Structure 1
Amino acid sequence: MIKPFFATCVLCSTLLNSTALFAQKAQIPQALSENLTVSGQLDDKTFRLLLKQGFKSVIVNRPDQEMGNNISVSQLRNIAEQSRVSVIYQPIDNGKITQTDIIEFSKYYNELPKPILMICKSGHRSSELFNEALKQGLLHE
């Protein structure tokens, strides 16, 4: 009986380690405010699940042509339309947020139905965009 138990423990340990590695790579959506959540890279299944949580608008900051992007804004838009959710495509090159980008985002944020889901590769540039607009007093909460 010791050998099967040991084998089970080794298998469980391997699965837990694999799951931990996956969890580190997965991008978990993060709420930055009551009205806005940011997410990193998504696949169509995860996007559908997020939309079921009640988001009314989506802003995509990741350029379609960015290396490693596995879902285009047109694919996201097609999925979102089935849930009657609007998608805004505001591509921003990684590390290159401009004042014009911040102002444009602010207009979207102030006009779109909430809550809003923002998507980029890791969630960082979307978070930075939101935080800069907030710091400059451009967002109407």
Structure 2
Amino acid sequence: MSHQVSIVGQITPDQVPVIAENGFKTIINNRPDGEEPGQPTSADIAAAAKKAGLAYKEISFAGSDLNQTHVEDFADFFNQAEQPVLIFCRSGARSTGIYEAAKKMDLLDD
């Protein structure tokens, strides 16, 4: 099975219905709350995801703080998540990093 993944920068709660309309089934958030003023909270995005019928998981970490636990938590959730999956952080770089780390460690199901 090939992964159906899109990695993007910060999303907002009002974008979640459009994300659902575009066929996504799961959202993974890699951005901690409070990184910058006005940033949507994980709770607000989670509520929008639930309302839109999407699965949601926060696996947040500061840019330089990615560790094995984050990667394993990500892989455990990703492997059981309904695809396609939208993964986001501030710019997409963190999300790309955790996804690539999980692939490199062979933690993602094929």
Are residues 1:100 and 2:69 paired? yes
| Contiguous gaps of at least 5 residues in structure 2 | none
Are residues 1:67 and 2:36 paired? yes
Q: Describe the SS at the equivalent of 2:87.
A: strand
Matched residue count: 109
Question: 1:90 — aligned with what?
Answer: 59
Q: Please say if residues 39 and 117 of structure 1, whose CA atoms lie closer than 8 Å, have aligned partners that are also in contact.
A: yes
Looking at structure 2, the residues matched to 68 and 128 of structure 1 have their Cα atoms a distance apart, in angstroms, of: 24
Percent of aligned positions that are identical: 26
Looking at structure 2, the residues matched to 77 and 59 of structure 1 have their Cα atoms a distance apart, in angstroms, of: 10
Write the mapping of 1:99-118 to structure 2, written as runs, cut at 5 A: 99-118=68-87
Find the partner of 1:53 among 5, 16, 22: 22
Looking at structure 1, the residues matched to 81 and 72 of structure 2 have their Cα atoms a distance apart, in angstroms, of: 14
Find the partner of 2:11 among 39, 42, 58: 42
The structure in which a higher percent of residues are helix is: 1
| Contiguous gaps of at least 5 residues in structure 1 | 1-32
C-alpha RMSD of matched pairs (Å): 1.5
Question: 1:124 — aligned with what?
Answer: 93
The alignment's TM-score, normalised by the length of structure 1, stands at 0.71
AA matched with 2:93: H
Larger displacement relative to structure 2 (59-68 or 120-129): 59-68
